[in-house]
Amino acid sequence: MVTPAPEGALCRDHPTVAAAWVCGRCGSFLCVTCERRTRPDAVPMCPACWDLRGRSVAPQTVSSGTGLQTAALVLGCIALLPVPVLQIISVVVNVVALVKAKHPPARNVRWRPITGLALTGVGLVITALVFSGAVFDS
Protein backbone atom coordinates (compact mmCIF):
# COMPACT_ATOMS: atom_id res chain seq x y z
CA MET A 1 0.00 0.00 0.00
CA VAL A 2 1.41 3.40 -1.00
CA THR A 3 1.52 5.60 2.10
CA PRO A 4 1.94 9.35 1.77
CA ALA A 5 4.19 11.00 4.34
CA PRO A 6 2.46 12.84 7.17
CA GLU A 7 2.29 16.62 6.90
CA GLY A 8 5.49 18.26 8.09
CA ALA A 9 7.64 15.14 7.65
CA LEU A 10 11.06 15.68 6.14
CA CYS A 11 13.08 13.41 3.84
CA ARG A 12 15.60 11.19 5.62
CA ASP A 13 18.36 11.97 3.11
CA HIS A 14 17.37 15.60 2.41
CA PRO A 15 16.44 17.13 5.78
CA THR A 16 15.39 20.45 4.25
CA VAL A 17 12.97 18.87 1.75
CA ALA A 18 9.41 17.86 2.58
CA ALA A 19 8.81 14.11 2.43
CA ALA A 20 6.27 12.77 -0.05
CA TRP A 21 6.18 9.09 0.85
CA VAL A 22 6.86 6.53 3.55
CA CYS A 23 9.24 3.76 2.45
CA GLY A 24 7.24 0.58 2.02
CA ARG A 25 10.02 -1.51 3.55
CA CYS A 26 11.65 0.39 6.43
CA GLY A 27 9.14 3.17 7.07
CA SER A 28 11.52 6.10 6.63
CA PHE A 29 10.33 9.30 4.99
CA LEU A 30 11.51 10.08 1.48
CA CYS A 31 11.09 12.90 -1.01
CA VAL A 32 10.16 12.57 -4.67
CA THR A 33 13.85 12.69 -5.65
CA CYS A 34 14.69 9.75 -3.38
CA GLU A 35 11.78 7.46 -4.22
CA ARG A 36 12.55 4.27 -6.12
CA ARG A 37 9.89 2.01 -7.65
CA THR A 38 9.88 -1.20 -9.65
CA ARG A 39 6.95 0.17 -11.67
CA PRO A 40 4.83 3.36 -11.47
CA ASP A 41 2.08 1.82 -9.32
CA ALA A 42 4.47 0.03 -6.90
CA VAL A 43 5.15 1.00 -3.32
CA PRO A 44 8.01 3.55 -3.17
CA MET A 45 11.27 2.58 -1.48
CA CYS A 46 14.06 4.67 -0.06
CA PRO A 47 17.48 4.47 -1.77
CA ALA A 48 18.92 2.23 0.99
CA CYS A 49 16.09 -0.32 0.68
CA TRP A 50 16.31 -0.12 -3.10
CA ASP A 51 20.02 -1.00 -2.98
CA LEU A 52 19.31 -3.87 -0.58
CA ARG A 53 16.59 -5.13 -2.92
CA GLY A 54 19.05 -5.00 -5.83
CA ARG A 55 21.53 -7.16 -3.92
CA SER A 56 18.99 -9.71 -2.68
CA VAL A 57 16.57 -10.16 -5.60
CA ALA A 58 17.75 -12.27 -8.51
CA PRO A 59 17.27 -10.61 -11.89
CA GLN A 60 14.38 -12.00 -13.89
CA THR A 61 15.17 -13.72 -17.12
CA VAL A 62 13.39 -12.44 -20.18
CA SER A 63 11.92 -14.89 -22.65
CA SER A 64 13.40 -14.70 -26.11
CA GLY A 65 9.91 -14.88 -27.60
CA THR A 66 10.86 -17.65 -30.02
CA GLY A 67 8.83 -20.43 -28.39
CA LEU A 68 6.00 -20.17 -30.90
CA GLN A 69 8.42 -20.47 -33.81
CA THR A 70 10.01 -23.54 -32.22
CA ALA A 71 6.59 -25.12 -31.59
CA ALA A 72 5.69 -24.46 -35.22
CA LEU A 73 8.80 -26.29 -36.42
CA VAL A 74 8.12 -29.24 -34.11
CA LEU A 75 4.52 -29.45 -35.37
CA GLY A 76 5.87 -29.37 -38.93
CA CYS A 77 8.00 -32.42 -38.12
CA ILE A 78 5.03 -34.20 -36.54
CA ALA A 79 2.89 -33.30 -39.57
CA LEU A 80 4.97 -35.73 -41.64
CA LEU A 81 2.76 -38.42 -40.14
CA PRO A 82 -0.28 -39.13 -42.32
CA VAL A 83 -2.77 -37.62 -39.83
CA PRO A 84 -4.81 -34.83 -41.47
CA VAL A 85 -5.83 -33.23 -38.14
CA LEU A 86 -2.18 -32.76 -37.15
CA GLN A 87 -1.44 -31.23 -40.53
CA ILE A 88 -4.28 -28.73 -40.25
CA ILE A 89 -3.10 -27.74 -36.77
CA SER A 90 0.45 -27.47 -38.06
CA VAL A 91 -0.57 -25.17 -40.93
CA VAL A 92 -2.47 -22.88 -38.55
CA VAL A 93 0.31 -22.71 -35.93
CA ASN A 94 3.03 -22.19 -38.55
CA VAL A 95 1.12 -19.38 -40.27
CA VAL A 96 0.42 -17.68 -36.93
CA ALA A 97 4.09 -18.03 -35.93
CA LEU A 98 5.19 -16.56 -39.24
CA VAL A 99 2.80 -13.62 -38.98
CA LYS A 100 3.77 -12.87 -35.36
CA ALA A 101 7.51 -12.90 -36.10
CA LYS A 102 7.68 -9.17 -36.77
CA HIS A 103 10.44 -8.13 -34.36
CA PRO A 104 13.76 -9.65 -33.27
CA PRO A 105 14.53 -12.17 -31.88
CA ALA A 106 11.44 -13.93 -33.29
CA ARG A 107 12.05 -12.35 -36.71
CA ASN A 108 15.53 -13.87 -36.74
CA VAL A 109 14.12 -17.40 -36.52
CA ARG A 110 11.36 -17.10 -39.13
CA TRP A 111 13.03 -20.02 -40.86
CA ARG A 112 11.42 -22.30 -38.24
CA PRO A 113 7.78 -21.72 -39.27
CA ILE A 114 8.81 -21.60 -42.94
CA THR A 115 10.48 -25.00 -42.55
CA GLY A 116 7.46 -26.18 -40.55
CA LEU A 117 5.16 -25.23 -43.42
CA ALA A 118 7.41 -27.00 -45.92
CA LEU A 119 7.44 -30.16 -43.78
CA THR A 120 3.66 -29.94 -43.44
CA GLY A 121 3.41 -29.76 -47.22
CA VAL A 122 5.50 -32.91 -47.52
CA GLY A 123 3.26 -34.51 -44.89
CA LEU A 124 0.17 -33.59 -46.93
CA VAL A 125 1.67 -35.26 -50.00
CA ILE A 126 2.45 -38.38 -47.94
CA THR A 127 -1.11 -38.37 -46.57
CA ALA A 128 -2.57 -38.01 -50.06
CA LEU A 129 -0.46 -40.91 -51.29
CA VAL A 130 -1.39 -43.09 -48.30
CA PHE A 131 -5.11 -42.42 -48.56
CA SER A 132 -5.18 -42.78 -52.32
CA GLY A 133 -3.67 -46.25 -51.95
CA ALA A 134 -0.70 -45.42 -54.17
CA VAL A 135 1.79 -46.34 -51.47
CA PHE A 136 0.31 -49.78 -50.80
CA ASP A 137 -0.50 -50.81 -54.40
CA SER A 138 1.87 -53.39 -55.83
The three state secondary structure string of the chain is CCCECCCCCECCCCCCCECCEECCCCCCEECCCCCECCCCCCCCECHHHHHHHHHHCCCCCCCCCCHHHHHHHHHHHHCCCCCHHHHHHHHHHHHHHHHHCCCCCHHHHCHHHHHHHHHHHHHHHHHHHHHHCCCCCC
pTM attached to this predicted model? 0.55
Residue 102: pLDDT band with limits 50, 70, 90? confident
Stretch 74-87: mean pLDDT: 95
Q: Is residue 20 part of a domain?
A: yes
Q: Is residue 33 part of a domain?
A: yes
Same domain, 117 and 76: yes
Stretch 39-48: mean pLDDT: 90
Q: Is residue 51 part of a domain?
A: yes
Q: Is residue 62 part of a domain?
A: no
Stretch 63-69: mean pLDDT: 83
Length of the chain: 138
Is residue 135 pLDDT above 70, yes or no? no
Q: What is the pLDDT of residues 22-35, one digit of tens each?
A: 998 999 999 999 99
* Residues facing residue 30 across a β-bridge: 21
Residue 105: its pLDDT value, please? Answer: 86
Which of 24, 57, 90 is the C-terminal boundary of a domain?
Answer: 57
Question: At residue 56, what are phi and psi to the nearest 5 degrees?
Answer: -105, -15
Q: Are 82 and 131 in contact (CB under 8 A)?
A: yes
Range(s) of the domain holding residue 4 = 1-57
Residue 75: its pLDDT value, please? Answer: 96
Residue 84: pLDDT band with limits 50, 70, 90? very high
∠ Cα 66 67 72 (to 5°): 100
Residue 137: pLDDT band with limits 50, 70, 90? low
